[in-house]
Structure 1
Amino acid sequence: MNNKKKNEGQTDFSYYGLYLLDYLRTNRFEQATDEAFIRERADRAAGTYERAILEGYPAAGAQELAMRTLTEGLRYSKYAILREVVENEFADDVPEAEREPFTRKLLPLVGNVFSIYDL
């Protein structure tokens, strides 16, 4: 039931679109609300899969290429980086139950730090 609520209004996305939507939401990427971005990426991934199959790739290889196309340039989100820092560097200071809210609260305050790096 939770998955139904999570993807409510997004049921017309393809497999790749739903996968990308979940990936973007889970990692708190800013593009998670950009339907055009998600559709364009999903279409490109599907096209990559189709071309790879026609070129003789096995299904698993074609899927790997499609997923690479789908998530290109989306390896790190600011949220995921900060969450990892909190988990690895402040594990003794921030209890596990408080890490998620702490990370969400801290994220807007560290924007300047991220502005000097190419994510």
Structure 2
Amino acid sequence: MPLIFGLALVSLLVACASAPLPPEESLNAANDAIESAEQADARQYAPAELEEARAMLVMAEKAVAEEAMTEADQLAQQARVAAELAIARTQAAKATEINRQFERDADALDVEMGRQGEQK
């Protein structure tokens, strides 16, 4: 019985002593979100948010190198959120541009219809 208890204790100590695994899922999600933000033109419409996402990802990778996996996971998640914010701001800015163009087109159409009405 003491042998089994000793082996269990050694196994527990080895498990606790080994470094946790890098947060690959969080890091991959952050990378994917940053790539999506770049493809959505966030460089033009939300550069601050995109830069924040990149900086957080760099800090997460540094934390992995320092074996601070909990911190790395948190930073990677923050990077993903910042990239998602960049995407949302980009989409909002593009929608605003489209709405403004529709308004200009509608105004031009009103002017043209007024001219045609005057000619009759």
TM-score using structure 2 length: 0.30
TM-score using structure 1 length: 0.30
User: Which structure is higher in helix share?
Assistant: 2
Higher RCO structure (Cα 8 Å, ≥6 apart) = 2
